Amino acid sequence: MAFGVVIIGDEILSGRRVDKHLPKVIELLGARGLSLGWAEYIGDDPQRITATLRRTFESGDIVFSTGGIGATPDDHTCQCAAAALGVPLQLHPEAQKLIQERIRDMYPATAATPLDLNSPENLHRLNMGTYPQGAAIIPNGYNKIPGFSIREHYFVPGFPVMAWPMIEWVLDTHYAHLHHAMPHAEKSLLVFELPESRLTPLMEKIERDFPGVRVFSLPSVGDAERGGVYARHHIDLGVKGEPEAVAAAFVKLREGVHLLGGDIVEHEAAAAKPRGLPLPALTTLPTLPNRIAKLVRAAARAANAAQPWARGLLCAHGRPRKHQPDTVLRWPWLSLSPSKPSSRS
């Protein structure tokens, strides 16, 4: 059994609307110690929707479906769900009551004529409560128009403001017993100077030695926008699974990368932003012998890439100082300035 999501709508596939459901479903599941097993996008194609739902009904998975449950000609989800199950459509009595409540709520109090629930327009609105036979309703706190569920499939509108609270309600009402039932952990590090082909045997060995642990490898050609070490070509290499097994597997993973000669940066160190070491200014120090200048530049670069405590070694009293225009770096015993020779006190 897995959690899945089917996101329906031509507007998503055409780019007219940007999907927000997938990251939100992942977030809602993750907050409850659950994870998403799969996701599919489908346009407003009745045959494709029916075929997809027929397959997912047979899978035994818990499935959320967003979009296509309205009453306009491009809404096909209810009809397709019924066709996939081989059951007829019928107006759900509780849905009828809620839709009519919504109609009353929206009818102007100053209208010249009384509300007619049997008008063609209001009767058409009841199509929003016509579901596959045997369905149950999913309450909608936003406008009362419910979604529906059947065979552990949960059908909600495409509007995030309605869909997301409805999905939360399903998770907390029907699947609270699964919340945090299986502890899960992930640990990873950034690997430089090694191709995936060199890492693959190590990854396979980790999975053999630690049953239930899965290894993942996410290569990047560099993220200039994120900057720092992330701007370099790297691989986000890690393990996920049961926390104790993950901790042991991660130790072996790190050791294996070291043995292969790869450079490693832990995520905590990668996220730390360099402070107090303006590297370009170091190239303007003619008063230092070239060799010493090179050593200072190398140490500054290493400190920028390392954890914050290492940067403190290049700053007075172990703490970074705010950069001053006429001073690049200061130690208690060494002053480096473009305008005067270095001296030792």
Residue 283 has pLDDT above 90, yes or no: no
Which region among 27-36, 150-159, 282-291 has the lowest average model confidence (pLDDT)? 282-291
CB-CB contact of 62 with 4 (8 Å): yes
Bigger pLDDT: 296 or 95? 95
Confidence of residue 292 (pLDDT cuts 50, 70, 90): low
- Residue of 319, 288, 299, 180 whose CA lies nearest to 242: 180
pLDDT in tens, 202-234: 999 999 999 999 999 999 998 888 888 888 999
CATH of the structural domain 185-271, one choice from 2.60.40, 3.40.1130, 3.30.70, 1.10.10: 3.30.70
- Helix/strand/coil (H/E/C) assignment for every residue in the chain: CCEEEEEECHHHHHCCCCCCHHHHHHHHHHCCCCCEEEEEEECCCHHHHHHHHHHHHHHCCEEEEECCCCCCCCCCHHHHHHHHHCCCEEECHHHHHHHHHHHHHHCCCCCCCCCCCCCHHHHHHHHHHEEECCCEEECCCCCCCCEEEECCEEEECCCHHHHHHHHHHHHHHHCHHHCCCCCCEEEEEEEECCCHHHHHHHHHHHHHHCCCCEEEEEEECCCCCCCHHHHCCEEEEEEEECHHHHHHHHHHHHHHHHHCCCEEEEHHHHHCCCCCCCHHHHCCCCCCCHHHHHHHHHHHHHHHHCCHHHHHHHCHHHCCCCCECCECEECCCCEEECCECCCCC
pLDDT, position 226: 84
CB-CB contact of 145 with 78 (8 Å): no
Q: Which fold does the domain 3-178 belong to in CATH?
A: Molybdenum Cofactor Biosythetic Enzyme; Chain A (3.40.980)
185-271 and 3-178 share a CATH fold: no
pLDDT in tens, 74-133: 999 999 999 999 999 999 999 999 999 999 999 998 888 999 999 999 999 999 999 999
The residue ranges of every structural domain in the chain are: 3-178, 185-271, 279-336
Share of the chain above pLDDT 70, in %: 77
- Residue of 199, 196, 235, 239 whose CA lies nearest to 219: 235
Residue 295 has pLDDT above 70, yes or no: no
pLDDT in tens, 144-164: 999 999 999 999 999 999 999
C-alpha torsion angle, residues 24, 28, 34, 35 (rounded to 10) = 0
Q: Roughly how many angstroms between the first and final C-alpha of the chain, as a whole number? A: 71
